[in-house]
Structure 1
Amino acid sequence: MVTSDLIDTHKVEAILGLQTLEEVLSVGEIVSKAQIPALSLLDSVPRWALDRFSFLVQVSPSHQFAQMKAFVAVLESCGWNSFTFIYEDINSASTLVMPHLMGAIKESGVQMSSIVRLSSLSSSSLLGELGRINTKPCRVFLVHASLEMGIHIFQNAKSLGMMERGYVWITTNLITDLLHTVNSSVFSIMEGVVGLGSSFPEHDSRFHDFSAKFQKKFKIEQPEEETNIPGIFAVEAYDATWTLALALSRENMSGQKLLDELSSISLTGITGEVQLINRQSIASHIFQLVNVIGKYYRQLGFWSDGLGFSEVINDTVTYNTSLQNLGHIFWPGKPLHTPRGWSIPTNVKPLRVGVPAVAIFKEFVEVKYDHNNHSFTVTGYSIELFKETVKRLPYYLPYEFYPFTGSYDSLVKQVYLKNVDAVIGDVSVVSNRYQYAEFTHPFTETGLMMVVPITSYHQQWLFVKPFTYGMWIITILFSIYNALVIYLIERKHSPELQGSVMNQTGILLSLAFTRTISKNSDEVHSNLTRMTTVAWIFAAIIIGQCYTASLTSMLTIRRLTPQVTDYEALKNANAVVGYGKGSHVARYLEDVLGFKSENLRNFTSPEECAYSLKNRTMAAVFLETPLTKLFLSKYCKSFTPAGTTFRDGGFAFVLPKGSPMVPDFTKALLNVSESGTLRDLEKRMLGSEECVDQDAIHDEYGSLGLSTFWSLFLLTGGTSTVALAIYVIISLRKYYQREGVSPITIISDIRKYLMYRRKRLSRKVSDLESRNTLEMT
């Protein structure tokens, strides 16, 4: 009614004010019908309201989203990732900050622990709400309320001991921008509070002139008020008035023309540049931070969107991301260090943590039962890592372990069924498990590996391996060729190189496979022979040394090769492969790799796995990478990884879907890793990766046995035996020919001798039997 009267009776051409959303909505509809611009000083006019009411203009800059980003920057700088939001629900405008707050924390790792909605100044309701949030671990509070409500909040918080050491209180501009108006008694109950407030150049000469005039007039009109310093609200109203006055000063400005003129004006006011875009003042991106100390407050510095924190605002300032660079902050209770942002609550229920009771590799998790005392203990690498991670959470988190005997899929499902609150152990990150829970960042290597028995590279024909077949052929051919050249050159001069064809052939082969001829240099008649011999010896020395070095390397370096290198060969041969009982690997082998279900076998311990591989009841086993390392550290001389490492998610902690603790645990896990604690735990709990196999299939790879060279011994022994046999036969033949004895006679004599020995043996057997018969009678 008042607005209509102003328009109809007083014929106003514009309206300035509208500080609440209710005023904006009621007046906006009226002025839009009358086509008279209405300038609102509310800094959070919704965009939909401006679109609905075409003559509504927001002249105070909107900075709620940027202010919430500044708040998040403070939290991240201090290492706090959780806070409690306290707001006053007295009008619609107070709730408009919520979307901006949610948008700001969405872009960060900060989370809202809880929300407190206040709608009255009743001390009992305030005490009840504050007492409720005081039972939670979070100790960081953001207060978005009017100054009057804020004072009541801090009075009740002080009575509950919530303004002491360990607590953090941060206020928005609704309180901070009015701190200059309160007295010292209010500061005493707010000591330690950090406030985010609007910023404008207070040292500018225009503000000084305005402030002097403002204080003079204010003292005349409000003589009872002690504080008369103008704040951001007075300054913004002053700039808005100047903007409207400048537009009205133009000729024939009213209605739509006046609205267009307001949008075209750009001036430098006390708050800075004043400009309207789409009937909305350009947003402010700079906020001041203040700290209540003693009976007043001091300015800490500024935060600029996209730049960070700084002590002052000018063209040469250096920005940084740390609030600590602005100087020491006096938090509640005046601690020497920044509060950690959480504390031990009074009634927090312990986190129910499920652990696999039948884990195959006890190094990761093992449940030991004490049946006498009806209790159990849980140990292992995953358990210790969980404890170290919880220590680094930004809040207190008690927990209790609950053993589970089912499969790992069933264990993860318990989180979804709310039977447990988390799961830890050697639990792999698998895609189908995401329908029941969420996972932290993996704390182990990822991958699935195939492990198979090994075979030694040391074979009976290893001595031929240093050279390729082509090299052996070329070496032999050149040796024969060089010997033939020497033979042809020296043949006429050396009686030893003459004789029968058989004798000359033997001499030629002897020359081919000896380093030099048996004659000394004086007995060589041709320089061509000497030249050929020198070149041949030089080449033979180089080739021989290279052969020796290569063979030495092969013999002294342990070389083990897998018996199978491709899982496809196992699948095509219908070979039996193994997996850890209860793990997701069985499904992967069947669904992804294509193994038949009847060819899959599970095992329940590393010992059973090794026994099955050694006895060939399983051709290979498939293990996650961390389990593969543990297994091979025990059986490194018997088995080896082979083939491709398949994609796998690694081990991680399991938490409920949508749990706000997932980023907290992930960040804490990274902290454990970066601090070196993770590596220390691996060494202490999982041991080193050095081989400790005491039950190897191949006993001593460092010593060379008969198996390596039996073929050489067979070759040289066989050659010697054949040569000896030929020599004996030829010698005997010559002897009997010389004595005139026929070979037939020799055979007859041998037969007679053998028959004589047989008769004597038969007689001795008969005598022995007769003697035994007499003794028995």
Structure 2
Amino acid sequence: MKTFFLLLFFLIALALKPEGINGVQRVIGAISDCNTRVGKEERVAMYMAIQDFNMQQNQTSILLRLKCSQRKPLQSALAARHLINKNKVQVILGPRSWEETSTVAEVSEHYDVPILSFADSSPTWAVERWPFLVQAAASTYTQMKAVANIIQSWGWRRVNVIYEDTDSAANGISPYLYGALQEVDVQISNLLPLPSFSDSFLLHKELEKLKKEQCRVFVVHTSLALATRVFRMAQEMNMMEKESVWIATDSITSSVHSMNFSLVSSMQGVVGVRNSFLDTRPDFHSFSTRFLGIFGQKYPEEKHHEPGIFALQAYDAVWTVGLAMNEGDNKGKQLLESILKTDFEGLSGNIQFTERKLEPATQFQIINIIGKSYRELGFWTDNLGFSHSLDNGVHNLSMESLGHVFWPGGPWSAPRGWDLPTIDNPLIIGVPNGSITNKFVKVTYDPSTNEYTFSGFSVDVFTETAKHMKYPLQYKFVAFEGNYTDLVKKVQSKEFDAAVGDIAIISTRCEYVEFTHPHTESGLVMVVPVLSHSSRAWLFVKPFTKATWLIALSINIYNGFVVWSIERNYCNELRGPFLNQIGTLIWLAFATLFSLRGEKLHSSLSRMAIVVWLFVTLIITQSYTASLSSMLTVQNLEPKITNIETLKSQNELIGYSQKSFVRAYLEGPLRFKPSNIRNFTSIDEYAQALGSGEIAAAFLEAPVAKLFVAKYCKSFTIAGPTFQVGGYGYAFPKGSLLMHDIDEALLNVRENGVLKDLEQSLIASEKCVDIQSNNETASLSPYNFLVLFMFTGLTSTTALLIYYFRAKDRFENYMAQYEGMRIALMIAMNKLGYQRNRLSRKVSDVADQRPSNSPNNSHSRSQV
């Protein structure tokens, strides 16, 4: 006790020492919240630093003037003005909150007085805004990285953040904690700002909102006063039970040494991150021993007298200013430059400034509150990880390496960090009502019961997945009317806890939600009509189009007519009644297709026509045979179109699902014209459009395409490459606590063959049907034989014309000869008539000269 009174007397005497003693005397100002434990520690530590400095330095002595602010920014500003104008201080230490620091910095700017702030959450722009502001406390960024690594170590994906609604706390959350959590892929489920003076009603109301959420990982970043009320209320609301996790930051845990039993009892199982310092150094032991005596004497109401990090920071800040004042000129700017050049090993760590900010701390201690106090678990070092001590050199990236942790509720095993859905509070899962096929998702409404039933492949796979989870999963399906992107946005906004269905995994949707592993094949494929129709009874006519058959028949009959016309003058068989001649002409036309009748043809013109026609017929029949053989022998269905370049070059129309992402993909990477894209709402519409030739191809997601081809196995097939897009997956909010377990269960469903059985049942449920196609692109058209048809037609026509002109000349000669013969015959006939007439007249004259009754006359007449 004597030692304490001697030290206290010496400290008071030093503070009242007049100027001129022990060299030049300088005045330092300080602003602190004297009514808090932190302010009390700072006050004792500063006076101890003044005492130690003046005892060790002969060149300069320093005097401390301290003002209490009660954490009020306006009072801090008034205190700063009083210290500068009345007490003539040359530098001001503190305050600790950013709200107070900003007002003090604004005042000091007008007087060029440096400010060494203890606020650890100053915004990045602060030192640029106020050129005399120095951040004398390490930034919270590295501390937030330690918090994020703790969360990552145990596999928790979502956290609730409770922070004090002040600029100081908010600056620590954003961007520091938010950025640190993003780096380890952890999402903030809820941000809960609380006023500094929150009453019990408000605390209960706000914590009740968090209690209704599934996430049970909480990060608390508040002052000790507010944290006391938060933890006590959380304990009363049974929020600190099994499966919950509570993590406290340095603003709370750095005062753990001073907490009373009532507060400690309400924080059982809390894991804390606090600034570390070497408590094994001789100078620290000396400081700690003296601090215990002075602090206990000055503040007897405090039960715990040990110094914390705040006392060490205040002690080092006094020494920083004192050493800078020893440099000589103590005007504002020169003093500031001297302060920024400071480099020494203080009680709180290395004191060195970069860009008017204290070098960030790289090591933090991890503690676990248990029993009446706390247990030191180990340390976390930036870029190295966790270790049991600072000097063993063995680090691990996971906090599990530190050993068992006593968690809230008493378990030694790591909490799950979230609550399971219950029957009273099940997962609300959105299911799309409007799938392109009801084989994947089928939503049926029963008006009599006003209830929906859900079935289909995607629904069945999810049901099986839920059965394979390690715990019972309570959920409820809800029908959703709208497109799939709107559905995943509903999941993002937490109107749904998840979405189940044939939801394609694409990058734009991943901006809103997380997807499980796909439960179907991935990819986008092109479906086109096939060339093979081997089951049709009229297959033999398929090699040629109707126009080709018609033209071939016409030319065949025409060639028969030409041969008949030329040869009928030489062959009596080609003459006769009209009907007989028609039959003979048709027989002659088709007989030339099967035999060479050159030895029976009399005219060289008919032979010429037949030779050319037989040449053309040979090529046509060989083409027919080859095409028909291909249709009969090819086992795999051949697509009519094999690549998208053909579709583009021929400017063909294509189809896609109306409620699908496919259109954007077709217009984007595949670069189809928007005017050539048609949308459809069912696979039957696809079949009709493809069969009728309305579209040349349909672009479907691989699972739907397999089902489509299974149903129309004789008419359509998959062609071209598979464009890599995601398969069908289940959507959950980002950082969902169920994702890991759902994925694990889904893998079990895949590995044990259940998924394969469901896929086979899906394909088997489609019975293969055929449709009639009006598209004749696969048959040989007249264009394929245009040259041959022209060749034989011109040859036959030429032969007929030559024959016609020759026949005309022969006819004219015949007619001329006939006319001469006719004239000669007429002359001969005329001569024969004249002689006959003369003989007749002579006979008549003889008869007239004889008597009529004379026997001689009768005799003579008879002789004549």
Q: TM-score range by the shorter chain?
A: 0.5 to 0.7
2:376 equivalent to 1:311 = no
- 2:149 alignment partner, SS class: helix
Q: Check the 8 A contact 1:632/1:691 in 2, yes or no.
A: no
**What is residue 718 of structure 2 aligned with on the other side?**
641
Conservation of the 8 A alpha-carbon contact between 1:137 and 1:395:
no
Conservation of the 8 A alpha-carbon contact between 2:241 and 2:408:
yes
The answer to whether the aligner puts 1:263 opposite 2:316 as a matched pair is no
- Quote the offset at 1:289 in angstroms: 1.4
2:310 corresponds to 1:237: no
- Give the counterpart of 1:685 among 758, 761, 781: 758
Give the whole-Å Cα distance in 1 for the aligned partners of 2:693 and 2:173: 66
Shift of 1:178: 0.3
Deviation at 1:367, TM superposition (A): 3.1
CA distance in 1, matches of 2:488, 2:94: 59
The amino acid across from 1:122 in the alignment is D
Tell me how far 1:313 sits from its aligned partner: 1.8
User: Quick one: distance in 2 between partners of 1:599 and 1:155?
Assistant: 63
Identity %: 36
Residues 114 and 394 (structure 1 numbering): CA distance in 2 closer, same or farther, change over 3 Å?
farther
2:236 aligns with one of 155, 159, 166: 159
Report the CA distance between 1:340 and its aligned residue.
1.6
Superposition pairs of residues 652-691 of structure 1, within 5 angstroms: 652-653=729-730, 660-661=733-734, 670-671=743-744, 677=750, 680-687=753-760
Deviates more, 1:417-426 or 1:232-241: 417-426
Matched ranges for 1:39-438 at <5 A: 39-62=116-139, 64-89=140-165, 92-99=167-174, 100-107=176-183, 108-314=185-391, 316-320=393-397, 322-343=398-419, 351=428, 353-357=430-434, 359-360=436-437, 362=439, 364-368=440-444, 373-386=449-462, 398-402=475-479, 404=481, 424-428=500-504
Q: Could you list the per-position Cα deviations for residues 186-220 of structure 1 after superposition, in whole angstroms to 9, with x for gaps in the alignment?
A: 22221111111111122233322221222233334
Alignment gaps of 5+ in structure 1? 458-554, 698-777
In the alignment, the residues of structure 1 paired with residue 171 and residue 411 of structure 2 have an alpha-carbon distance, to the nearest angstrom, of 34
Inter-partner Cα distance in structure 2 for 1:453 and 1:268 = 82
Deviation at 1:251, TM superposition (A): 3.3
CA 1:635–1:664 in 2, change beyond 3 Å: closer, same or farther? farther
Amino acid across the alignment from 2:352? Q
Residues 403 and 617 (structure 1 numbering): CA distance in 2 closer, same or farther, change over 3 Å?
same
For 1:333, what is the secondary structure of its paired residue?
Answer: coil
8 Å CA contact 1:342–1:394 kept in 2: the answer is no
Q: Deviations over 1:657-710 (max 9, x none)?
A: xxx54776876665555556488453132128999998699xxxxxxxxxxxxx
Q: Which moved more, 1:162-171 or 1:597-606?
A: 597-606
Alignment of 1:488-503 (within 5 A): none
Aligned counterparts of 2:471 and 2:657: Cα–Cα separation in 1: 36
Amino acid paired to 2:408: P
The offset of 1:639, in angstroms, is 5.5
State the shift of 1:454 in Å: 5.9
Q: Is the 8 A contact 1:440 1:662 kept in 2?
A: no
Q: Secondary structure at the match of 2:233?
A: helix
Amino acid at match of 2:760: G
Shift of 1:402: 1.0
TM-score (normalised: structure 1): 0.65
- Check whether the contact 2:466–2:745 (CA below 8 A) recurs between aligned residues: no
Tell me the secondary structure at the aligned position of residue 687 of structure 1.
Answer: helix
In structure 1, what is the Cα distance between the partners aligned to 2:492 and 2:218? 31
Unaligned runs of 5+ in 2: 1-77, 535-631, 771-864
- For residues 342-387 of structure 1, give each alpha carbon's deviation from its aligned partner in whole angstroms, at most 9, with x where no partner exists: 225798686361323554251x222345566454421223224445
Instruction: Write the letter of the residue equivalent to 2:104.
Output: V
Q: Report if aligned partners of 1:3, 1:27 keep a CA contact under 8 Å in 2.
A: yes
Given the superposition, is the C-alpha separation of residues 12 and 630 from structure 1 closer, same or farther in structure 2, using an over 3 Å criterion? same
Distance 2:269 2:749 in 1: 36
What is the alpha-carbon distance in structure 2 between the residues aligned to residue 256 and residue 9 of structure 1? 21
Give, in angstroms, the shift of residue 179 of structure 1: 0.6
Q: CA-to-partner distance for each residue in 1:128-156, whole Å, 9 max, x for gaps?
A: 32233222222222222222222222222
Superposed displacement of residue 258, structure 1: 1.9
State how far apart, in whole Å, the 2-side matches of 1:55 and 1:601 are. 66
Deviation at 1:244, TM superposition (A): 1.8
Distance 1:267 1:413, change over 3 A: closer
Measure how far apart 1:18 and its partner are.
2.2
Map Cα deviations across residues 219-249 of structure 1 (whole Å, 9 max, x no partner). 3433453321111111111222222222222
CA contact (8 A) 2:292 2:305 kept: yes
Q: CA deviation at 1:181?
A: 0.7
Q: Residue 530 of structure 2: SS of its match in structure 1?
A: strand
> Which digits, 9 at most, give the CA deviation of each residue in 1:616-675, with x for residues without a partner?
9987654321223344566768764222334655434568xxxx5477687666555555
Change (3 A) 1:315 1:6: same
Determine the structure 2 residue equivalent to 1:626. 703
| SS in structure 2 of the partner of residue 448 of structure 1 | strand
For 2:704 and 2:728, locate their aligned partners in 1 and report how far apart those are by CA, in whole Å: 10
Q: 1:556-635 residue pairs with structure 2 within 5 A?
A: 561-566=638-643, 604=682, 621-632=698-709
Per-residue deviation at 1:570?
A: 6.4
Deviation at 1:170, TM superposition (A): 1.4
Contact 1:439 1:652 in 2 (8 A): no
CA drift of 1:275 comes to 0.4
Deviation per CA, 1:396-417: give whole Å up to 9, x if none.
884432165x877898899999
Looking at structure 2, the residues matched to 626 and 599 of structure 1 have their Cα atoms a distance apart, in angstroms, of 21
Q: Provide the rounded CA distance (Å) in 2 between the counterparts of 1:168 and 1:438.
A: 24
Once residues 15 and 586 of structure 1 are traced to their aligned partners in structure 2, the CA distance between those partners, rounded to angstroms, is 65
- Distance, in Å, in 1 between the alignment partners of 2:700 and 2:320 is 74
Q: 1:318 offset after TM fit, Å?
A: 2.1
Q: Deviations over 1:571-616 (max 9, x none)?
A: 777988776676566887799675998997968457x978998999
> Structure 1 32/625 Cα, relative in aligned 2: closer, same or farther at 3 Å?
same
Post-superposition shift, 1:328? 1.1
**1-structure distance, mates of 2:745, 2:654:** 37
* Residue-by-residue CA offset, 1:724-759 (whole Å, 9 max, x unaligned): xxxxxxxxxxxxxxxxxxxxxxxxxxxxxxxxxxxx
Secondary structure of 1:33 counterpart: coil
Q: Which has the larger radius of gyration?
A: 2
Hey, what's the Cα distance between the residues in 2 that align with 1:219 and 1:410?
64
User: What does residue range 725-744 of structure 1 map to in structure 2 within 5 Å?
Assistant: none
CA distance in structure 1 between the partners assigned to 2:87 and 2:484 by the alignment: 79
- Specify the alignment match of 2:58 in structure 1: none
Aligned in 2, Cα 1:156/1:585: closer, same or farther, shift over 3 Å? closer
Give the Å deviation of 1:290: 0.9
SS across alignment from 1:229: coil
